[in-house]
Amino acid sequence: MTGEHTDGDRILLEGMVFHGRHGTLPAERDLGQPFVVDVELRLDLRPAGLSDDLEKTVDYSEVHRRARKIVEGEPVNLTETVAERIATEVLEEHPPVQSVRVRVAKPHVRLEDTVLAGSAVEIVRHRDPA
């Protein structure tokens, strides 16, 4: 699905906060921490806008549910892995989505002798045209 509307149309889910146990440090696995997730879906929203039909768009409550399942699910070492899993599920489960941007942030990251306001990973994945 290509066209002028796909390039500009987006569904944005911003500031989803979930508790996860991801990271390479034992404390991250034991205590867990909040993860803030933003997801941007790019797809043609004109059919939904003209018809007022949920079946012609993406139900973002489903995207929220899947992101929560991944973040609150089995721990992994890297924030990159969390973002990749969210992007993969969005593209697999929602065929109208042409591309997805996923940002996963960890607030208040402790390094050796300092604390950062946060760290984040942001990825963009496009549907394979094949």
Which residues belong to the active site? Answer: 106
- How far is residue 101's CA from residue 42's CA, in Å, rounded to a whole number? 8
Interaxial angle between packed helices 60-71 and 79-93, expressed in degrees from 0 to 180 and rounded to the nearest 10: 150
39, burial (CB in 10 Å: exposed 0-12, middle 13-18, buried 19+): buried
Q: Give the residues across from 38 on adjacent strands.
A: 103
